[in-house]
């Protein structure tokens, strides 16, 4: 059984939350599953990196912006691997390019095109929990690209597709997908299941709980995606056929 778990920025904001996520990951590993963990940058890190870059050059090139923004996820991946190590389990962190995530050449909004090596499989076979940076890949020139805001969801689902995972779990700061943003509308209704097509419509209407391309990947490769709370771990919403 192979499961891909993705943890969003709020779910990793601070050492306590990184450790909580690591405990969840190792709990699954202990049950015998192979686990690939995809991480976002912690908290507001990506926004802070954008501000830092803009202080230096308001019109920095898209290539350099990607070099800058990819840093946030790299830090998260290293911290997550260290947190798993602290619990006594084997883990290794990989950047997008180490993991072989190839993209087209569109800096700032790149599309994942494939998995260019078998590093993740090799590490899983060695018994490692593999932690991969979300939101980034490498273009045909060998340069780092990023996938657009919220793109770590797409990294997770794409890896689930390429590795033929049994399930992709998106751990976030709400306990599932609702008909409206539950933070703005306390009366919003939660879905137990939602179809890929209906999810894409919700996203079109502004629901940024999932990156649109992640749902397209899930639909095209028939990957069930569960959106659930990193704080409770209670069953969330299954996005499926
Ligand atoms: P993460 O950092 O985990 O990727 P995001 O901020 O990208 O989290 O997505 C989760 C947020 O999406 C929630 O905090 C919620 O406010 C917002 N959201 C917007 N629309 C919806 C919806 N229809 N259902 C659930 N959450 C929604
Ligand atoms: N860190 C990136 C962002 O803030 C990617 C992600 O969180 O999915 O948009
Ligand atoms: Mg997100």
178 lines ligand 1 (CB under 6 A): yes
What is the pTM for the complete model shown?
0.98
Confidence of residue 136 (pLDDT cuts 50, 70, 90): very high
Q: What is the pLDDT of residues 151-177, one digit of tens each?
A: 999 999 999 999 999 999 999 999 999
Q: What is the pLDDT of residues 48-99, one digit of tens each?
A: 999 999 999 999 999 999 999 999 999 999 999 999 999 999 999 999 999 9
What ligand is nearest to the CA atom of residue 71?
A: 2
Q: What is the pLDDT of residues 86-117, one digit of tens each?
A: 999 999 999 999 999 999 999 999 999 999 99
Q: Which of 120, 28, 41 is nearest to 80 (CA)?
A: 41
Confidence of residue 208 (pLDDT cuts 50, 70, 90): very high
Q: What confidence score (pLDDT) does residue 16 get?
A: 98
- Please give the CATH architecture assigned to the domain spanning 2-240: 3-Layer(aba) Sandwich (3.40)
Q: What confidence score (pLDDT) does residue 220 get?
A: 97
Confidence of residue 213 (pLDDT cuts 50, 70, 90): very high
| Cβ < 5 A residues, ion ligand 3 | 8, 150
Confidence of residue 197 (pLDDT cuts 50, 70, 90): very high
Q: Ligand 2 centre from 232 Cα, in Å?
A: 22
Give the mean pLDDT of the chain. 98
Q: Which of 201, 73, 223, 42 is nearest to 147 (CA)?
A: 73
- Residue 9 CA: nearest ligand 2 atom is 7
> DSSP assignment of the chain, as one string?
-EEEEEE-SGGGSSHHHHHHHHHHHHHHHHTT-EEEEEEPPSTTHHHHHHHHHHHH-TT--HHHHHHHHHHHHHHHHHHHHHHHHHTT--EEEE-HHHHTEEE-S-TTSPPEEEE---HHHHHHHTT-EEEEESSEEE-TTS-EEE--TTTHHHHHHHHHHHTT-SEEEEEESSSS-BSS-TTT-TT--B-SEEEHHHHHHHHHTT-TTS-HHHHHHHHHHT--EEEEETTT----EEEE-
- Intra-chain end-to-end CA distance of the chain, in Å: 21
State mean pLDDT over 224-232: 97
Q: What confidence score (pLDDT) does residue 168 get?
A: 98
Q: What confidence score (pLDDT) does residue 228 get?
A: 98
Distances (CA, A) of 234 to 91, 117, 169, 209, 221: 25, 34, 12, 17, 26
């Amino acid at each position: 059984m192979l499961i891909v778990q993705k943890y969003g920025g709020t779910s990793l904001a601070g050492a306590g939350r990184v450790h909580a996520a690591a405990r969840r990951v190792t709990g699954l590993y202990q049950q015998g599953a192979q686990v690939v963990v995809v991480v976002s940058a912690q908290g507001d890190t990506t926004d802070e990196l954008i501000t830092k870059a803009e202080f230096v050059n308001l019109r920095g090139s898209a290539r350099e912006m990607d070099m800058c923004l990819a840093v946030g996820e790299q830090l998260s991946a290293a911290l997550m691997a260290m947190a798993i190590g602290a619990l006594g389990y084997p883990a290794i962190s990989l950047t997008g390019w180490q993991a072989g995530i190839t993209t087209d050449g569109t800096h700032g909004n790149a599309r994942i095109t494939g998995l260019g090596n078998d590093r993740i499989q090799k590490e899983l076979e060695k018994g490692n929990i593999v932690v991969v940076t979300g939101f980034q890949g490498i273009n045909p020139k060998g340069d780092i690209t990023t996938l657009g805001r919220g793109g770590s969801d797409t990294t997770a689902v794409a890896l689930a597709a390429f590795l033929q995972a049994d399930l992709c779990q998106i751990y976030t700061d709400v306990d599932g997908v609702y008909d409206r943003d539950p933070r703005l509308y306390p009366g919003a209704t939660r879905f137990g299941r939602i179809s890929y097509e209906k999810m894409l419509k919700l996203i079109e209407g502004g629901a940024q709980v999932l990156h649109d391309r992640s749902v397209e990947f899930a639909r095209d490769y028939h990957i069930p995606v569960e959106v659930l709370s990193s704080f409770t771990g209670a069953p969330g919403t299954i996005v499926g056929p």
